A and B are shown apart, each in its own frame.
Chain A
Amino acid sequence: MLKELALAFLLLLGVSFIVFAILYAAPGDQLNVLLEGQLPTPEVRAGVREALGVAQSWYGQYFSWLLGVLSGNFGTSIRTGLPVGPELLSVSLNTLYLTLGSMLVTLLIAIPIALYASARGHLVSISWPLTMLGYVISALPVFWLGYIAIYISIHWFNFFPLASLGRQSDVNGWLYTFVPVMVLGLGSGTISEVIRNLREEMTRVMAEDYVRTARAKGASVWRHAFKEGLLIPVTEIIAAKIPFILGGAVIVEQVFNWPGMGRMAWQAAQDRDFSVIMGIALIAATFVRLGSLLQRTICAAVNPQHARE
């Protein structure tokens, strides 16, 4: 467990280094502007600029930026002039909401299909139309899917899903999130791969000796195959797909005008507001590593051999 935490920490450190390095290599004065943006007031900034007549070393700049970030100071947005940190928090939560919801949708669709296909045994036959459907959905551009969803909800259900994410009454509020979550869940390109992966794993586990023993003793095969055949593969593949879902969120937030990290990142890229985009990159990577950490913890908890190491 400790080893996992240390690994995650080292990786995030590496991530921060890459993010910093990109900015360092960028043309123009960005770096100094960024660092200055982390300082609290204009006066202090002016003072520091005077004091720093000599160019600081890159690692000095890196550490000062990093320390700032770790204490929550992500710098100042070029566009708004406001500190980035608090803003990031609220949009991250919105995106997290979207991401988790869409994972749920993906699993709710993929797991039954995968289990059905693996129970059938034959790799081709009946599961083919479903597999094909999965491929088509994965190849669909998610932004177009979003427009279809909007069109349907407007014209068939008289429901305009683009209203801003205000604190609506509970029932309506839930509906407003439903559409983008559905779209992201279907369109993040992960469904067909999740189905294929889960089906393969379950089929493999069903052929294991110990499942044969369970069958021979009249026990519930499902109960024995579940851990290795479903629980572990699901956590593995979901953790692996988090980066893709986050990427999809960028687009879906654009389509639905959802105030999340993705839309903020898009805005920041347009404005070249790098303190914002860097913060988002860091938070996104943190989500990814947290997901991975969670997955490995579950694996260790379930697998007695791992637990002993």
Chain B
Amino acid sequence: MKKYTQTSGEIGDFSQLPIWQKYALVDLLYVAYGLLIVALVLVSYVLGMFNLLPHDPQQINIELLMASPLSDGYLLGTDFLGRDILSRLIMGIQAYFLPGLLAISISLIVGVVLGVLSGYRGGRIETVIVYFTNLIDSFPRLVLILLVIAAFKPDIYYIMIVMGITGIPTVTTAIANKIRFLAQKSFIEAAIALGLRTRVIIMKHILWYNCRALLIIQATLGMGEAILLETSLSYLGFGVQEPVSSWGNMVQSGANYFLQGNFWPSTAPALAILFTILGFNLLGDGLNNILEDRRGR
């Protein structure tokens, strides 16, 4: 049975309702969880940067191999060489954090420029831009990156630039579609008729007021994908090398032990990947629903 209740007396004003009544609980939870993850990542990044870790991530302790979590000062236990897993996980964030930011910056900045050109100008420019986005989209990301690795050195920054470039089409098409949608609503025509300068129209009205949500969401999803990509690459053996830890190479080196029944050294980083990417994806999805008011209650 579903219950529909009418507020008695004055009809409630939506904008003044407290936040937990305005939006669906699910979306708020998504956003809360996502923000928590983002906070954890940021904190861990800083900790890693200043080496404020519980233990040395590369310190081998022969007497403490494969300690289980919560044993004796090792919060998440140790791996097959006795190294502290928690510290290694925290350090692992260094591998993808800055490169990931670089990647999404490239995607967003270039993507917005191309998207605005394509959506606002249309015509020949749009055809050319669509051609280029289709072109970039034709490559599976990993294959393109492997190509770049074969040609140049396997430097994570080169890789992230490629990652950024491959992220451009999504942003471009999203922005261009949004602009086309807004154009149908004729307020762009109205703005032009009012004599607003093109730059103002684009920057203020289109991007800031209308595309904010879109961009934030693309940023969060992009970060999730960057993490997935970096971990996949380091799993494959490119990027950060042992003994420096990255979540991907941690899973890879623990693989044999996993198949023998010692799950933890591979599982801990895998779970870290899972929860982190989940956090970014849910953040993006929750924000999307809240800002575009999609759900009913």
Closest to A136 in B: B278
Contact A143:B24 (CB < 8 A) given known A269-B149, A274-B150: no
Asked whether, in the complex, the Cβ of B235 is within 8 Å of the Cβ of A19, the reply is: no
A30–B151 contact, CB under 8 A? Answer: yes
For residue B117, which residues in chain A have a CB less than 8 angstroms away from its CB? none
Report chain A residues within 8 Å CB of B231. 141
Contact B295 A141 (CB under 8 A): no
Are the C-beta atoms of B149 and A151 separated by less than 8 Å?
no
Q: Mark B181-208, 1 if CB is under 8 A from A, else 0.
A: 0000000000000000000000000000
Q: List residues 138-183 of chain A with CB under 8 A from any CB of chain B.
A: 138-144, 147, 150-151, 154
Whether B11 is near chain A, meaning CB under 8 Å from some CB there, is no
- The answer to whether B258 touches A147 (Cβ under 8 A) is yes
Across the interface, do A139 and B137 meet the contact criterion of CB distance under 8 Å? no
A247 touches B143 (CB 8 A): yes
Q: Select A189's contact among B142, B228, B296, beta carbons within 8 Å.
A: B228
B235 touches A251 (CB 8 A): yes
The contact of B131 among A14, A144, A266, by CB within 8 Å, is A14
Q: How many residues of B contact A (CB 8 A)?
A: 49
Q: Using a Cβ–Cβ cut-off of 8 Å, how many residues does chain A contribute to the interface with B?
A: 56
Which residues in B have their C-beta under 8 angstroms from that of A246? 140, 142-143
Considering only residues 282-303 of chain A, those with a C-beta below 8 Å from chain B are 284-285, 288-289
Residues from 133 to 183 in B contacting A, C-beta threshold 8 Å: 134-135, 137-144, 146-152, 154
Q: Say whether A150 contacts B143, CB under 8 Å.
A: no
Q: Decide yes or no whether A2 CB sits under 8 A from chain B.
A: no
- B152 closest partner in A (C-beta): A26
A residues within 8 A CB of B152?
26-27
A135 to B273, CA, bound (A): 13
CB distance from A91 to the nearest CB of B (A): 13
Whether A141 lies near B274 (C-beta < 8 A) is yes
Interface of A is mostly: helix
Could you tell me if A272 and B147 are in contact, using CB atoms closer than 8 angstroms? no
A270: chain B residues within 8 A (beta carbon): 237
The verdict on B113 contacting chain A, using a C-beta distance below 8 Å, is no
Judged by a CB distance under 8 angstroms, whether A254 is at the interface is: yes
B255 is contacted by which of A122, A147, A189, A262 (Cβ under 8 Å)? A147
State whether A140 touches B274 (Cβ < 8 A): yes
- Residue interface bits B254-278, CB-to-A below 8 A is 1, else 0: 0100110000001100100111011
Per a CB cutoff under 8 Å, which of A27, A141, A250, A288 touches B142?
A250
Which residues of the other chain, A, contact B151 by a CB distance below 8 angstroms?
A: 22-23, 25-26, 30, 272, 274
Q: Which residues of A contact B26 (CB under 8 A)?
A: 124, 128
Are B251 and A144 within 8 A (Cβ)? yes
Bound complex: CA of A138 vs CA of B259, how far in Å? 23
Q: Assess the A277–B274 pair: CB atoms within 8 A.
A: no
Q: Does B281 contact A (CB under 8 A)?
A: yes
Interface residues of A in 88-147 (CB under 8 A from B): 122-124, 128, 135-136, 138-144, 147
Beta-carbon contact of A141 and B273 below 8 Å:
yes
A243 touches B139 (CB 8 A): yes
Q: Which of A250, A272, A289 contacts B143 (CB 8 A)?
A: A250
- Which A residues are CB-close (under 8 A) to B248? 141, 143
Contact at B277–A122, with CB atoms within 8 Å?
no
Query: Counting CB contacts under 8 A, is B68 at the interface?
Result: no
A260 CB → nearest B CB, Å = 12
B125 within 8 A of A: no
Measured CA separation A22–B143 after assembly (Å): 13
Asked if A124 contacts B138 (CB within 8 A), the reply is no
B94 touches A (CB below 8 Å): no
User: Contact: A14 with B142, CB < 8 Å?
Assistant: no
* B291 CB-CB contact with A under 8 Å: no
B235 lies within 8 A of A143 (CB): yes
Chain A contacts of B129 at CB under 8 A? none
User: What is the minimal beta-carbon distance from A51 to any residue of chain B, in angstroms?
Assistant: 27
Which residues of B lie under 8 Å from residue A11 when comparing CB positions? 131, 134-135, 138
Complex CA distance for A167 and B282, rounded to whole angstroms: 44
Q: Which residues of A contact B120 (CB under 8 A)?
A: none
Q: Which residue of B lies closest to A15 (CB)?
A: B138
Complex CA–CA separation, A270 to B154 (angstroms): 9
- The reply on A10 being an interface residue by CB < 8 A is yes
> When the two chains form the complex, which single residue of B24, B139, B235 contacts A281, counting CB atoms closer than 8 Å?
B139
Query: How far, in Å, is A305 (CB) from chain B's closest CB?
Result: 19
**Shortest beta-carbon distance from B244 to chain A in Å:** 19
**When chains A and B are docked, how far (Å) is the Cα of A15 from the Cα of B22?**
48
Q: Is the CB of A139 within 8 A of B255?
A: no
Those of B276-297 within 8 Å (CB) of chain A: 277-278, 281-282, 285, 294-296
Q: Are B140 and A135 in contact (CB under 8 A)?
A: no
Does B97 touch A at the CB level, under 8 Å? no
Give the nearest-CB partner of B166 in chain A.
A243
CA of A204 to CA of B2, assembled, Å = 23
Listed by A's residue number, 26 A-B pairs whose Cβ atoms lie within 8 Å are: A15-B135, A15-B138, A22-B148, A123-B294, A124-B26, A139-B224, A140-B270, A141-B228, A141-B231, A141-B235, A141-B251, A141-B274, A144-B270, A144-B273, A154-B259, A189-B228, A250-B143, A266-B236, A268-B146, A268-B150, A272-B150, A274-B147, A274-B150, A277-B150, A284-B143, A288-B138
Across the A-B interface, give the 4 residue pairs with the lowest CB-CB distance, nearest first: A26-B151, A144-B270, A246-B140, A139-B277
The interface of chain A, by Cβ under 8 A from chain B, is 10-12, 14-15, 18-19, 22-23, 25-27, 30, 122-124, 128, 135-136, 138-144, 147, 150-151, 154, 189, 242-244, 246-247, 250-251, 254, 262, 265-266, 268-270, 272-274, 277-278, 280-281, 284-285, 288-289
